[in-house]
Structure 1
């Protein structure tokens, strides 16, 4: 069974994305990065990305992670904060800890594509 199916499929991904962005947009370290972003569009991209990354049937057709985050000056601290918000979101949605660890492992390789200022604190 894929991680996607194990967490409840599309309905769970949708709930996770909604809760996740509530957390991220409420975080003063991260909110500024979204000031001029169409959040509804971003959520749709995020749902497709997460679903595809977790083995779901959706196809992610957005930009690659490096292109999507180029020029933002994201640091390891920013990446870690986002991952923490995702883990908290999944915990809130009763996703089992072993599934959260699988998801974190699946997303960890994206750090090198997203972080452009690794030595700086956020």
Structure 2
């Protein structure tokens, strides 16, 4: 059984993405990254990415994480904040700690691609 199946499949991933973006968009340090962004479209990409990352049946054929985030100049600390918001979301949804650790382990290597010593957005 995959993590995707363990947490409840597409329905659970969708719920997690919705709650995750509520947290991210409410964070004054992270919200500026999303100004002018089609958040509904972004949520679709995020659902697909997470589903694939945790063993779902979908296939991700989008841009690499580095390409998708290059123009944003994401600060490493902001990458960590986003991961923290995801952990908070999954914890609030009752996802077991071991599963959250596995998901975090899958995300950790992406930091170098997404936030390669990026400059923080001016607040």
TMscore range, shorter length: over 0.9
2:52 is aligned with 1:63: no
Cα distance, 1:72 vs structure 2? 1.3
Cα distance, 1:61 vs structure 2? 2.5
Cα distance, 1:53 vs structure 2? 0.7
Cα distance, 1:121 vs structure 2? 6.4
Give runs of ≥4 in structure 1 deviating > 6 Å: none
Corresponding residue SS for 2:117: coil
1:1-122 correspondence runs (5 A): 1-117=1-117
Corresponding residue SS for 1:110: helix
Matched length: 121
Q: Distance in 2 between matches of 1:108 and 1:43?
A: 20
Q: Distance in 1 between matches of 2:91 and 2:85?
A: 10
TM, length-normalised to structure 2: 0.93
TM, length-normalised to structure 1: 0.94
Q: Distance in 2 between matches of 1:94 and 1:75?
A: 29
Q: Distance in 1 between matches of 2:68 and 2:28?
A: 21
Cα distance, 1:26 vs structure 2? 0.4
